[in-house]
Amino acid sequence: MSAVAAGIIMHVLLIEPDVLLAKTYMAALRKQGHRISHSVTAQQAIAAADARQPDVVVLTFAIARHNGVEFLYEFKSYTEWRDVPVVLLVSQLNHDMAQRESLRHELGVREVLIVSQLTLKKLCDAVANVGRPAL
């Protein structure tokens, strides 16, 4: 069931440096009825979140000049964003780091998806499962 059919529309902040992947992810999430803000860098993501509070963050672990953990520490340092759930997209190489339960909990990572095994359905399901409705 899509978000539109379920009546749950969320604002998703997508942080993905690969523009082609980002377009694919955004198309799938928009098809589910979500509003999307796309950022390529951590700085753009902070500005986008400041402009519009996200309900869910979808973050690729490898972003320019930061990694996902550095970005999340900065993002979660703002009180208004502490409870925003995160879907983390990792390569197989980063998978061990993402499985560290204490770090995941501290940074609000609710789902970890391995990019090589990712389908658009898995991404949309993860967003739906961790998200909270937009106000």
* Residues with Cβ within 8 Å of residue 103, at least 6 apart in sequence: 69, 97, 109
What string of pLDDT tens digits covers the 135 residues of the chain?
444 445 578 999 999 999 999 999 999 999 999 999 999 988 899 999 999 999 999 998 877 666 777 888 889 999 999 999 999 988 765 555 555 776 777 788 888 888 888 999 999 999 999 875 444
Strand pairing partners for 39? Answer: 15
Contacts within 8 Å (CB) and 24+ apart, 72-79: 72/107, 72/108, 72/109, 73/107, 74/42, 74/46, 75/45, 75/46, 75/49, 76/106, 76/107, 76/108
If one counts every other C-beta atom within 10 angstroms of the C-beta of residue 38, the result is: 18
pLDDT at 66: 67
DSSP string, 47-59: HHHHHS--SEEEE
Phi-psi label, residue 131: left if phi above 0, alpha if psi -120 to 50, beta otherwise: beta
pTM over 0.75: yes
CA 119 from chain centre, in angstroms, equals 15
Q: Could you give the domains of the chain?
A: 3-130 (3.40.50.2300)
